[in-house]
Structure 1
Amino acid sequence: MKFYSILIVLFTIGISTSFAQSYSPKIERCACNIKIEEGVIARCGYLVVPENRKRPDKTLLKIPFIFVRKNGMDSVRNISLYTTGGPGYSTTLGITKITANSGFLKYGGFIAFDQRGTKKAIPSLECPEIDEAIKRSYAENLSKDSLVLLAVKSCRKRISAQGIDLSSYSTTESAADINDLRLALKIRSLTLIGLSYSGGLMLTVAKNHPEGIKALVLNSPLPGFVNYEEHGLINMNEALEQVFANVLTDSLKDERYKDLRNRFHEYFTKITGQHFTIKYLPKGKTDSLSIKYGKAELLDAIIGRIDNNRLKSVPFVMNELIKGNHYEYISELLDGVFLGDPTRSLGMRYSVYCSGQIAYSDPQLIAMQDQILPWLSGYPFNNVNAEICDCWKVRNEGKEAKTPVYSTIPALISGGDADPWCRPFYNTLIKRYMPNAQVILIHNRAHGAGFGANGFDYLEEFMADPFKKLKSRSNNVIIQE
Structure 2
Amino acid sequence: MTRFIQKMTGFWMVVWLGLLLAACQQSTPTPTSIPPTSAPMTEMPASSTPTVIPTDTPAPTNTPVPTETPAPTAVTAPQTETTACPFDLPQPRQVRCGTITVPEDRAQPDGNQIVIQYAVFASDSPNPAPDPIVYLEGGPGGDALEALPLVFEERFAPLLAKRDLVMFDQRGTGYSQPSLACPEYTQLVFDTLAENPTPAEEAAQVMAALDECHARLVQEGANLAAYNSAASAADLDDLRRALGYEQWNLLGVSYGTRLALTTMRDFPEGIRSVILDSTYPLQVDLTTETGENFARALRVFLAGCTTNTACATAFPDLRGTLFDLVARLDAQPISVPVTDIFTQKRYEATVNGQDLLGVIFQSLYQTEVIPLLPQLVGDVDAGIYTDLSTLLSSFLAANEFFSIGMQYSVQCHEEIAFSQPITPEPPPDFPELTAFVQESIGTGELAQEVCAMWNAGNAGSIENQPVHSDIPTLILSGEYDPITPPAWGQMAQQDLSHSFFFGFPGMGHGVSLSGDCPREMVLAFVDDPAQSPNDTCIADLGAPAFIVGAGGAQEAITLVPFTVDVYGLATIEGIVPEGWQDLGNGAFGRGQNALDQTALVLQAAPGLNSEALLTLLAGQLGLEDVAQPRDTYDDGARVWSLYGGDVQGLPVDIAVTDDAGYAYVVLLISTPADRDGLYEAVFLPALAALTVQ
**TM bucket by the smaller chain?**
0.7 to 0.9
Q: Contact between 1:126 and 1:346, CA under 8 Å: does it hold in 2?
A: yes
Q: Contact between 1:138 and 1:144, CA under 8 Å: does it hold in 2?
A: no
The structure with the larger Rg is 2
**Which residue number corresponds to residue 171 of structure 1?**
229
Structure 1 residues 172 and 302: CA distance shift in structure 2, 3 A: same
**Which residue number corresponds to residue 156 of structure 1?**
214
Deviation at 1:197, TM superposition (A): 0.5
In structure 1, what is the Cα distance between the partners aligned to 2:383 and 2:175? 41
In structure 2, what is the Cα distance between the partners aligned to 1:85 and 1:249? 33
Of 53-62 and 369-378, deviating more is 369-378
Does 1:379 pair with 2:442? Answer: no
Does 1:63 pair with 2:116? Answer: yes
Does 1:311 pair with 2:370? Answer: yes
In structure 1, what is the Cα distance between the partners aligned to 2:311 and 2:157? 44
Does 1:20 pair with 2:58? Answer: no
Structure 1 residues 281 and 394: CA distance shift in structure 2, 3 A: closer
Residue identity opposite 1:220 in structure 2: S
In structure 2, what is the Cα distance between the partners aligned to 1:335 and 1:5? 8
Q: Contact between 1:27 and 1:47, CA under 8 Å: does it hold in 2?
A: yes
Q: Identity over aligned residues, as a percent?
A: 25
Deviations 1:15-44 (A, max 9, x none): 7665324x6422122123556999975431
**Which residue number corresponds to residue 491 of structure 2?**
429
Q: 2:105 aligns with which of 37, 52, 61?
A: 52
Structure 1 residues 51 and 287: CA distance shift in structure 2, 3 A: closer
In structure 2, what is the Cα distance between the partners aligned to 1:236 and 1:60? 40
Q: Contact between 1:442 and 1:476, CA under 8 Å: does it hold in 2?
A: no
Q: Contact between 1:297 and 1:330, CA under 8 Å: does it hold in 2?
A: no
**Which residue number corresponds to residue 462 of structure 1?**
525
Deviation at 1:229, TM superposition (A): 1.3
Q: Contact between 1:31 and 1:45, CA under 8 Å: does it hold in 2?
A: yes
**Which residue number corresponds to residue 55 of structure 2?**
none
Residue identity opposite 2:80 in structure 1: I
**Which residue number corresponds to residue 367 of structure 1?**
424
Structure 1 SS opposite 2:110: coil
**Which residue number corresponds to residue 7 of structure 2?**
4
Deviation at 1:94, TM superposition (A): 2.6
**Which residue number corresponds to residue 307 of structure 2?**
249
TM-score, L = length of structure 2: 0.61
Residue identity opposite 1:350 in structure 2: Y
Structure 1 SS opposite 2:424: helix
Structure 1 SS opposite 2:531: coil
Structure 1 residues 360 and 456: CA distance shift in structure 2, 3 A: closer
Q: Contact between 2:203 and 2:441, CA under 8 Å: does it hold in 1?
A: no
TM-score, L = length of structure 1: 0.86
Q: Contact between 1:443 and 1:476, CA under 8 Å: does it hold in 2?
A: no
| Counterparts of residues 24-35 of structure 1 (less than 5 Å) | 24-33=77-86
Residue identity opposite 1:313 in structure 2: L
**Count of aligned positions:** 467
Structure 1 spans left out of the alignment, 5+ residues: none
**Which residue number corresponds to residue 353 of structure 2?**
295
Deviation at 1:55, TM superposition (A): 1.7
Structure 1 residues 173 and 377: CA distance shift in structure 2, 3 A: same
In structure 1, what is the Cα distance between the partners aligned to 2:491 and 2:434? 27
| Counterparts of residues 62-461 of structure 1 (less than 5 Å) | 62-70=115-123, 73=127, 77-96=130-149, 102-142=157-197, 143-251=201-309, 254-265=312-323, 268=326, 270=327, 274-278=331-335, 292-306=350-364, 307-321=366-380, 323=381, 325=383, 327-328=385-386, 331-332=389-390, 335=393, 341-364=399-422, 367-369=424-426, 373-379=430-436, 383=442, 385-450=447-512, 457-461=520-524
Of 60-69 and 388-397, deviating more is 388-397
Structure 2 SS opposite 1:438: strand
In structure 2, what is the Cα distance between the partners aligned to 1:26 and 1:288? 46
**Which residue number corresponds to residue 475 of structure 1?**
539
Structure 2 spans left out of the alignment, 5+ residues: 10-33, 39-68, 543-693
Deviations 1:392-444 (A, max 9, x none): 22102211011111000111111110111111111101111112111111110
RMSD: 3.5
Residue identity opposite 2:250 in structure 1: L
Structure 1 residues 19 and 458: CA distance shift in structure 2, 3 A: closer
Structure 2 SS opposite 1:394: coil
